[in-house]
Chain A
Amino acid sequence: MLRRVVPVTATLVPPPVTDVRPSRLAGLRGRFVGGLRDTPRRLAAVLAGLVALGFVVGVVGFTGVRQRADLIDGVTSRSGALVVAAQNLYRALSDADATAASAFLSGGVEPAAQRDRYQNGVAEAAAALAVIAAGRSGDGARDGAVGVIAAELPVYTGLIETARAYNRQGLPVGAAYLREASGLMRQRMLPAAQQLYQSVTAELDQARGGGAGFPWIAVLLGLVTIAALVRMQMWLTRRTNRVFNIGLVGATAAAVVLVGWLGVSAVVIGTRLDASDRDGSAQVDRLVQARVAALQARADESLTLVARGAGGDFDKDYTAVMTRLIGPDGHGGLLRDAAERAADEPTRAAADRAAGRARDWLAAHQKLRQLDDGGQYTEAVTAAVGSDPGATTSIFNQLDDTLASAITRNSDRFEFDARSARRGLSGMDLGVVVLTGLIVIGSAAGIQRRIAEYR
């Protein structure tokens, strides 16, 4: 609009000295000078707008990068560590319960290996609980679960030790303390541990979702900045007949790089985080579920024998848990799932091997049940806790070891993928600051020169 009032050619040329009559000259001059005054003011306004826009893009982009870096750091360090701790807690408590029950079956003073395993279970549970307690979220349900386990773990171990002391004296009340301890574990502690595990897994998924999110606002603001810069240059070109303004071109380039970097890195990070989920933590979760199921089945097997004919419920639970583990036909369930979705060959092989061991166990268990139901109780107990390689103890231990090493392998993979996602953001916060600086400086320098030409 200014353009129509003042001829383009005259804009930047100093007014010629003429002998035009003063009255007319003054009128013309007044209009001309007013127009000249208007243009720098306009330019200054546009400059302020561009600087503000670039500035906002920088702030939003920088904040977004930092937040995502924090979220991904959370995935790798905090949430990842919490999930591992919750897995350890759940597994170690199940292990202690299963070991205490089978140690009782052995009769007399339990074998040293069983005692060691029980003590390891308790120590690992306590260590994992400390990690989870230190990473408290302020989530009431989770803190409640931590409180339950923290309060009950010493009670549980106390009951187990009381049972041991009575067993050593040959008094049957020891078995009653063992039943009470196992009931405490199964009715209060394991459900709390499971709740904790689910809670921290959900938190991990949430952190992952946040880390993998696309930075829509920053990218949109960046596009608006680019559009404004281009529009400004087109206007200046028409206004001044100069095609390029170095400052504004530089600012535009910086804005394009910034938007491109934000967008591409978000896609890359999202892909890597998805991989960390698909190949890492989801796989670990399946394997952990399988391992806990195996431990529960082991406890069920022992408790069926401990109950001696009155353990029908435990045996039903054993069958249900084994069905969950390997499916009704021995070729399905959690382990089949883990094998099919394995991200690498060793994990697939481990899941298949575990399924094979689980089938062996089921077969040995059925033989054991036949012995017990056929009146050969002592033989059945030997088949469960004896040192023979065909005893279910050793088959179960092989199954457990296989799953344990597969879990370690996939936890490492998860960490690797999550860390590589984090690397996608390295240097980006500084990059955003520099590029923002270039946008602001470029715009300022480019427009400042035009304004200067009016002075």
Chain B
Amino acid sequence: MNASRLMSAAVALTVTLGLAGCGSGGGGGTLPAGTSAVTPVRPVGVQDPAEVPDGANAGPASCDPRASLRPAATQPRPGQMPAGSTMAQILHRGRLIVGVDQNSYRFGFRDPLTGELTGFDVDVAREVARAIFGDPSKIQFRATNSASRIPSLQDGTVDIVVQTMTMNCERWQKVNFSTEYFTAGQRILVRRGSPVRGIADLGGQKVCSAIGSTSIRNVAAAPAKPLPVGVPDWTDCLVMLQQNQVAAVSTDDSILAGLAAQDPNAVVVGPRFSDEPYGIGINREATDLVRFVNGVLAQLRADGTWTRLYTRWLTALGPAPQPPTARYRD
């Protein structure tokens, strides 16, 4: 072998090996993994199955959940609260702090067009502010959801809660309530065309309610054994119903009417299967505020304000009935 042949062979082999060395890499032709199995998106904070505490509506058997403290003979005038009273503290602070919902259409909701909180509950709260300050706008709203209502009252984050809150004996152990200002009862919301006509038809099916509500306990306790699904806010239930993730929503007819009003494809069905008297929640210590608020409610019932507010927000539920009668236990 002479030198030039040797060299050309060396170069040829070198080039071949060199090219072979860099020819690796590059993708195959398969699809990325994980594109097929997509878990459905769900509301933040959903519980499925819901964790429902035992002992629904537990409490002393003798309790009358509707009975509250009698107002004073003469209601203090706006801006002149008795010294040392809870109302005087609120007056001094300059605003009433109220826990309301921003997700219950027509009761307490954020109007997306203005960003303002509005609704029946919100207007009732403004009347309480008017009675203390003479000005319904001296008010600060804090959004609460069903589960955070009682803790917010207990730790003093809010003065009162006006949020479709059912008075029951168990809750009376933790907080005070005003007299009843609205009467509701639990029903079912389903998609139009659903064969479900009541809670009895929902055995083994998913039913949505808000975490911490009386509704979710009633669902869990229903003899047909539906599967309760818990969410933070009531509108989350409507989302889940629209996304076919639950068969029904079950709560007070008042709230369901608000959900149905947002979706023509959703209908409220079946009879009421519970009694839900709504009261304004107040801290357990602030009995003076309870009597004061009851005085305000008595006036709203008497002077036609209650009927005016009902007509403004709730005519979809039917013509305004008589306001609930106040019951007192002194």
- Point out residues on A near B: beta carbons under 8 Å: 51, 54-55, 58-59, 62-63, 66-67, 69-70, 104-108, 133, 136-138, 140, 143-144, 146-148, 150-152, 155, 159, 166-168, 170-177, 179-180, 182-184, 187, 307-310, 374-375, 377-378, 381, 429, 433, 436-437, 440-441, 444-445, 448
Q: Which of A155, A170, A179, A310 contacts B111 (CB 8 A)?
A: A170
Q: Digitize B1-42: 1 where CB-to-A-CB distance is under 8 Å, 0 elsewhere.
A: 011101100110111011101100101100011110010011
Q: Judging by beta carbons under 8 Å apart, are A66 and B22 in contact?
A: yes
Q: Judging by beta carbons under 8 Å apart, are A151 and B235 in contact?
A: no
In the complex, which residues of chain B have a beta carbon less than 8 angstroms from the beta carbon of A448?
2-3
B21 to A, closest residue via Cβ: A63
Q: Judging by beta carbons under 8 Å apart, are B140 and A176 in contact?
A: no
In the complex, which residues of chain B have a beta carbon less than 8 angstroms from the beta carbon of A159?
41
> Which one of A106, A151, A173, A309 has the highest number of Cβ atoms from chain B below 10 Å of its Cβ?
A173
In the complex, which residues of chain B have a beta carbon less than 8 angstroms from the beta carbon of A307?
143
In the complex, which residues of chain A have a beta carbon less than 8 angstroms from the beta carbon of B167?
none
Contact A147/B34 with A176-B239, A179-B43 known, Cβ cut-off 8 Å: yes
Q: Judging by beta carbons under 8 Å apart, are A433 and B112 in contact?
A: no
Q: Judging by beta carbons under 8 Å apart, are A172 and B109 in contact?
A: yes
Contact A143/B32 with A107-B114, A166-B262, A308-B141 known, Cβ cut-off 8 Å: yes
Contact A176/B103 with A143-B32, A143-B33, A433-B15 known, Cβ cut-off 8 Å: yes
Q: Judging by beta carbons under 8 Å apart, are A310 and B32 in contact?
A: no
Q: Judging by beta carbons under 8 Å apart, are B44 and A172 in contact?
A: no
Q: Judging by beta carbons under 8 Å apart, are A173 and B238 in contact?
A: yes
B233 within 8 A of partner (CB): yes
Contact A176/B236 with A108-B114, A440-B7 known, Cβ cut-off 8 Å: yes
A178 to B, closest residue via Cβ: B112
B113 within 8 A of partner (CB): yes
Q: Judging by beta carbons under 8 Å apart, are A172 and B105 in contact?
A: yes
12 more A-B residue pairs beyond the given contacts A176-B236, A183-B41, A378-B116, with a C-beta to C-beta distance below 8 A: A70-B22, A108-B115, A136-B32, A159-B41, A166-B262, A171-B112, A172-B262, A173-B238, A175-B235, A310-B144, A375-B94, A440-B3
Q: Which of B17, B28, B97, B143 contacts A308 (CB 8 A)?
A: B143
A450 to B35, CA, bound (A): 71
Q: Judging by beta carbons under 8 Å apart, are B113 and A441 in contact?
A: no
Q: Judging by beta carbons under 8 Å apart, are B115 and A175 in contact?
A: no
A70 to B95, CA, bound (A): 70
> Which one of B43, B94, B104, B145 has the highest number of Cβ atoms from chain A below 10 Å of its Cβ?
B43
In the complex, which residues of chain B have a beta carbon less than 8 angstroms from the beta carbon of A69?
22
Q: Judging by beta carbons under 8 Å apart, are B43 and A176 in contact?
A: yes
In the complex, which residues of chain A have a beta carbon less than 8 angstroms from the beta carbon of B10?
51, 54-55, 58, 436-437, 440
Of all A-B residue pairs in the complex, the 7 with the closest CB atoms, nearest first, are A309-B142, A375-B140, A147-B34, A107-B115, A183-B44, A176-B235, A444-B3
Query: What are 29 A-B interface contacts by the 8 Å CB criterion?
Result: A55-B10, A67-B21, A105-B115, A107-B113, A138-B27, A140-B33, A143-B33, A144-B33, A147-B33, A150-B35, A151-B35, A155-B38, A173-B239, A173-B259, A173-B263, A175-B103, A176-B103, A176-B235, A176-B236, A180-B43, A180-B236, A182-B44, A308-B102, A309-B99, A310-B145, A429-B18, A441-B3, A441-B4, A448-B2
B327 within 8 A of partner (CB): no
A436 to B14, CA, bound (A): 9
B148 within 8 A of partner (CB): yes
B110 within 8 A of partner (CB): yes
In the complex, which residues of chain B have a beta carbon less than 8 angstroms from the beta carbon of A429?
18
Contact A62/B18 with A148-B34, A308-B141 known, Cβ cut-off 8 Å: yes
Q: Digitize B132-172: 1 where CB-to-A-CB distance is under 8 Å, 0 elsewhere.
A: 00000001111111001000000001000000000000000
A186 to B58, CA, bound (A): 39
Contact A150/B14 with A136-B27, A170-B111, A172-B235 known, Cβ cut-off 8 Å: no
Q: Judging by beta carbons under 8 Å apart, are A174 and B18 in contact?
A: no
A180 to B41, CA, bound (A): 7
In the complex, which residues of chain A have a beta carbon less than 8 angstroms from the beta carbon of B38?
151-152, 155
Q: Is the interface of A mostly helix, strand, loop or mixed?
A: helix
A376 to B, closest residue via Cβ: B140
Q: Judging by beta carbons under 8 Å apart, are A445 and B3 in contact?
A: yes
What is the CB-to-nearest-CB distance from A455 to chain B, in angstroms, rounded to a whole number? 14
What is the CB-to-nearest-CB distance from A44 to chain B, in angstroms, rounded to a whole number? 10
In the complex, which residues of chain A have a beta carbon less than 8 angstroms from the beta carbon of B235?
172-173, 175-176
In the complex, which residues of chain B have a beta carbon less than 8 angstroms from the beta carbon of A151?
34-35, 38
Q: Judging by beta carbons under 8 Å apart, are A155 and B145 in contact?
A: no
Q: Judging by beta carbons under 8 Å apart, are B34 and A179 in contact?
A: no
Q: Judging by beta carbons under 8 Å apart, are B11 and A377 in contact?
A: no
A164 to B, closest residue via Cβ: B112
A107 to B, closest residue via Cβ: B115
A104 to B, closest residue via Cβ: B112
B234 to A, closest residue via Cβ: A176
A182 to B105, CA, bound (A): 22
B20 to A, closest residue via Cβ: A63
In the complex, which residues of chain A have a beta carbon less than 8 angstroms from the beta carbon of B143?
307-310
Contact A444/B7 with A148-B34, A173-B235, A375-B97 known, Cβ cut-off 8 Å: yes
What is the CB-to-nearest-CB distance from B12 to chain A, in angstroms, rounded to a whole number? 10
A317 to B288, CA, bound (A): 39
A167 to B104, CA, bound (A): 15
